[in-house]
Amino acid sequence: MTPLLELLEFAVTRLRTPVVRGLSFTLEPGEVLTLVGRNGAGKSSLLEGIAGLHATSGELRCGGRPLAGAAIPERLRAGVVLCAEGRSLFPEMSLRENLLLGGYLAPRDAALRRAEELLARFPLLAERSAQKAGSLSGGEQQLLAVCRALMSGPRVLLLDEPTGGLAPLYRGAIAALVREVVAEGERSVILVDDNLDFALDLADRVLALAGGREVFRLTRSDRPSADLILRELLAAERRATPQDEGRTNREEA
């Protein structure tokens, strides 16, 4: 089976600074990959780099199709879609219009059909389809953002902080949606979320970043837990920082 997404020596540059360096991994169809790391480790930048928002170097392929340097519409057609942190909805437009814009590149009737399907799937959203996106609750907005990303028919869905500030009810809905996306074994998801329990629960594999580089990987068989991840990250940091004598080791005393 060919991998769905391939990264080779992939690097992302923002504001003249490399924020992701020398990253190589592949993503198989039907897989959820969770990225972990501290604030500023480069998780969001990696997703945005794959989606085409920043300058990148190295190779990037989706289903064998080279995407490095491609414009965003080309990436969308190849099936790479980012649901960005902070949602980036269009606040003055109705929920329905937001959804339809998710299918901006698709033919009009296909987009309409897909929007109907999604609205039927989420009665919660269907009820408010005429309401302005800006007036929805945080959870509804997030659900809408994920649905908007689904409108373009993604093969690789990049989810950045999908549960930021959400009530458990919506967290469950989004988890179910992610499972549904990968269920048929054709599409895959890369997930970044502050809520480690949520993110690890869905993960087939875990990739940890620190300072823009990969520090370790785990698979489901490692039974990743929040505890394990934090411990490993701390250990990785220790390897990176040479020990100062005495005064630095308070927390280990």
Q: Which residues bind another protein (CB under 8 A)?
A: 15-17, 19, 38-40, 51, 53, 71-73, 76, 81-82, 84, 87-93, 97, 100-102, 104-105, 108, 148-149, 152, 165, 194, 196-197, 211, 226-227, 230-231, 234-235, 237-238, 240-241, 247-253
CA angle 213, 43, 54 (to 5 degrees): 95
CB of residue 106 to another protein, shortest distance in Å? 9
CB of residue 241 to another protein, shortest distance in Å? 6
Measured from the CB atom, is 101 or 126 closer to another protein? 101
186 Cβ neighbours under 8 A, 6+ residues apart: 29, 30, 155
Measured from the CB atom, is 26 or 131 closer to another protein? 131
Measured from the CB atom, is 148 or 187 closer to another protein? 148
CB of residue 226 to another protein, shortest distance in Å? 4
How many C-beta atoms surround the C-beta of residue 140 within 10 A?
Answer: 20
CB of residue 93 to another protein, shortest distance in Å? 7
Measured from the CB atom, is 184 or 252 closer to another protein? 252
Say if CB 28 and CB 205 are below 8 A apart: no
CB of residue 107 to another protein, shortest distance in Å? 10
Separation of alpha carbons 129 and 201, rounded Å: 31
CB of residue 129 to another protein, shortest distance in Å? 16
Measured from the CB atom, is 180 or 197 closer to another protein? 197
Query: Hey, what are 42's tokens?
Result: 């480069």
Query: Hey, what are 111's tokens?
Result: 């987009």
Measured from the CB atom, is 45 or 188 closer to another protein? 45
